[in-house]
Structure 1
Amino acid sequence: MHHFSYIDGRLHAESVPLDRIAAEVGTPCYVYSTATLTRHYRAFADAFAGLGASICYAMKANGNRAVLRLLTGMGSGVDVVSGGEMALALAAGAPAGRIVFSGVGKTEDEIAAALQAGVHQLNVESEPELDAIDTVARRMGVKAPVAIRVNPDVDAATHAKITTGKAENKFGIEWTSARQVFRRAMTLEGIAVKGAAIHIGSQILDLGPFEAAFLKVRDLVAMLRADGVTVERLDLGGGLGVPYHQGDESPPPPAAYAEVVRRTLGDLGCALTIEPGRAIAGNAGVLVSRVIYRKDGITRTFAVVDAAMNDLMRPALYDAWHDIWPVVEPPAHAERPLVDVVGPVCETTDTFARDRALPPVAPGDLIAFMTAGAYGAVMANQYNGRPLVPEVLVDGDRFHVVRRRPRLEDLAALEDLPPWLAD
């Protein structure tokens, strides 16, 4: 469920018309709904009540400081995958003790910063990383709290570029080596083994892969405890999908996901960590764009908009679908001719939709790319000299720009000419 709907013929975010935001902020811009973010977080918190579970929002989905402040204020922890994300989470007010540091390539500086901050745990992705964490921890005179991520070799049945739990993926310790690595970790002076972690992928629409992975984790816990290995925590990652294509995708609700966890792992006496990202932020945001031109070709019709692949990469990167809604509500029986919705970047892949049945759009019309709250602004870049777009948070009948649009002169703010090229 989201809080974007037509009211009196105009698309609103909660009680704020999107054309009002576009008029004041300009386009393109991201717009997020407080009510949707709140509802989705509470759906997870309620679903896992009684399971001893911590919800750690995966900020790689949407790392805006206002979004983080909102969620951590409701009790959420944060899952981070870099030193930069950790610094942003701390700056947003996330308690270090509710931060989980994931990611396959932690540097020694990042490890030291995490230990200095006092994060809840570091998720170990490989034996070399385990050794690096041990080295840094001993140097600092502390024991690093770790969960060792295992790769259960389970097919998440999702897009190949966002599956993470198969043997050929770069993530985690191979299943057949896990017991040996856990036993070794218990002998390391700088390591405090807390438990195991998994994450099998993203945008998962079927609970079957989760159940298969959790049953393998259950078996692993039994074997590790028989080996004398401490297993007091289980980090189950995230991955629950969202409906990008209304009427075509129907992901299970958090309550059904929690029931699988309860049935497979609920009696192990482990503290659980759940790391939803997309499922909280995905349909809590839209990207508002304006049509620049309508181009009628011999074989195709193009709507050229002012948003581009650098603003929303998912269609170009994953051939992803985003529903597109006109900001002015079309008549119920309006014709819907096929159109390609494209951006201004000099790449053929700068295409949001091909042969999409849409109500007629004309230059100046506003459209909204739906379900753009996750992996939208965080993946944006300044290709073709295009500044990052602003982000707006709506709360009821009010809104605030939570990241401003950079000025054109800001594009080169970090660059410097060598003396021999200076005037």
Structure 2
Amino acid sequence: MKYINKNLSIEKVKVQDISKKFGTPTYCYSYGQLKKNIDDFKKNFSSFAPLICFAIKSNTNVNLIREIRKFGLGADVVSIGELMMALKAGIDPKKIVFSGVGKTTDEINYAIDKKILLINAESKSEIIEIERIARSKKKIVNIGIRLNPNTDAKTLKQISTGKKENKFGVDEKTFFALVNYSKLSKNISLKCLSVHIGSQILDYKPYEKMLKVVDKIIKKSNHKFKFIDLGGGMGISYEKNNKKLNYQKYNIAIKKFLRNHKSKIIFEPGRSIVGNIGSLISKVIYIKENGKKDFIILDAAMNDLMRPALYGANHRTLPAIKTNQTSKKIYEFVGPICESTDKFTTLKKFQKLKEKDLVVMCDVGAYGMSLSSNYNVRPKPSEILIKGSKMNVIKKRQKLKDLI
């Protein structure tokens, strides 16, 4: 995304033209950026050729997942719906891992029937249920056990998953007990040690610490794991001053780990694949003056983009057309929903806006549409994939008549 003759453009298409054709609010995805992200990810870890399983929860658009599948990626799913979505997009079942702490009997049944690569279990009760279902089907089911390494990912507490107070995985003592239990079972085959410490991680050091814990656990377990699932969590730069995760240093740490363990590495990236490919175009409905601050009331709301309300997350906001006028007032960008948390960002020295102007919120490809809702009976936006100068609708805007 860049300005061409003062017009903000996604690849070769002006934001203004997208708005004219599809209305607002509208999600747009850059195919070129998607390709670049996947190529960079593969290149940085090419020395050990990991299985890359895209985290479906980050973006659930089936047409976008189809494009991701064409690059050879698998899928990380956390519900029967996500598993169905991955299969509908054509992802090979043998490249699908099923994660999550609360898999139901129906979900486990479905996953076993579809012969997916792994079910990553997170408790003894879950393993007993997988074993019971596998026995009833007279099958042997491949599982992983998710370890909670008690590692601080140095990220937002709402998206930390690898500390002992988090609900995910099992502690060291329980892990060893479950390894021993699995070895005695005739219907489950323990193939994988799984671990995931959080999301939006920008420092490779927590990963290094995690790998040291995993190394120690494997040695003590005396079990050969075919797969080591390191999860995802790789962060992206949401602001210009944010540092980026150093893939090369993480790669070095994994190669060092693999000297002692001849296992296949699995990654579950989501945000790092689709986060910066997405933009949300919105129109200014009203400008409401309020002393030193003006409320910029947009037609996009927290139901369209939940991250700011949910996490206090900040997304760069840009005007669709550049001018040389700067507002002397503070701008608070808000939506029309009847909640005080329905606001996106507060900015000083933003370009002067007027009603019906367009603004674009950046880096919304991950946990944008996938967290959206119909709160206040608002239809979900359309989704557009942009490839060069071509615009393809990959999901139509919802209609009120379909909601009511």
Q: Bin the TM-score by the shorter chain.
A: over 0.9
CA RMSD of aligned residues (A): 1.3
CA offsets 1:133-184 (integer angstroms, 9 cap, x no match): 1111111111111110000000111000000000010000112321111111
Question: Which residue, 102, 107, 110 being the options, matches 1:105?
Answer: 102
CA offsets 1:61-109 (integer angstroms, 9 cap, x no match): 1121122111111111111110000000100111111111111111111
**Which whole-Å CA distance do the structure 2 matches of 1:51 and 1:37 have between them?**
22
Partner of 2:392: 400
The alignment's TM-score, normalised by the length of structure 1, stands at: 0.93
Tell whether 2:192 aligns with 1:192.
no
Moved more, 186-195 or 237-246: 186-195
Partner of 2:239: 245
CA contact (8 A) 1:240 1:251 kept: no
Question: Which residue, 370, 378, 381 being the options, matches 1:378?
Answer: 370
**Which whole-Å CA distance do the structure 2 matches of 1:231 and 1:224 have between them?**
10
Partner of 2:279: 286
Q: Secondary structure at the match of 2:318?
A: strand
Partner of 2:320: 327
Partner of 2:343: 351
Partner of 2:89: 92
The CA deviation at 1:194 is 0.2
Aligned partner letter, 1:211: E
Question: Which residue, 199, 210, 214 being the options, matches 1:217?
Answer: 214
Aligned partner letter, 2:130: I
Question: Which residue, 132, 135, 152 being the options, matches 1:138?
Answer: 135
Q: Secondary structure at the match of 2:65?
A: helix
Change over 3 Å in CA distance of 1:285–1:70 after alignment to 2: same
Alignment of 1:20-419 (within 5 A): 20-225=17-222, 229-247=223-241, 249-331=242-324, 334-335=326-327, 337-412=329-404
Aligned partner letter, 1:256: K
Aligned partner letter, 1:159: L
Q: Secondary structure at the match of 1:383?
A: coil
Q: Secondary structure at the match of 1:60?
A: helix
**Which whole-Å CA distance do the structure 1 matches of 2:252 and 2:378 have between them?**
45
Aligned partner letter, 1:284: I
**Which whole-Å CA distance do the structure 1 matches of 2:52 and 2:38 have between them?**
8
CA offsets 1:206-260 (integer angstroms, 9 cap, x no match): 11111101111011111122xxx3311100000011111112x112243333222
Aligned partner letter, 1:408: L
CA offsets 1:275-333 (integer angstroms, 9 cap, x no match): 110011111101110000111112421100000000000000001110001111233x7
**How many residue pairs end up in the alignment?**
404
CA contact (8 A) 2:305 2:371 kept: yes
The CA deviation at 1:267 is 4.0
Q: Secondary structure at the match of 1:164?
A: coil
Change over 3 Å in CA distance of 1:266–1:239 after alignment to 2: farther
The alignment's TM-score, normalised by the length of structure 2, stands at: 0.97
Gaps of 5+ in 2: none
**Which whole-Å CA distance do the structure 2 matches of 1:260 and 1:371 have between them?**
28
CA contact (8 A) 1:193 1:230 kept: no
**Which whole-Å CA distance do the structure 1 matches of 2:262 and 2:274 have between them?**
30
The CA deviation at 1:263 is 2.4
The CA deviation at 1:401 is 1.0
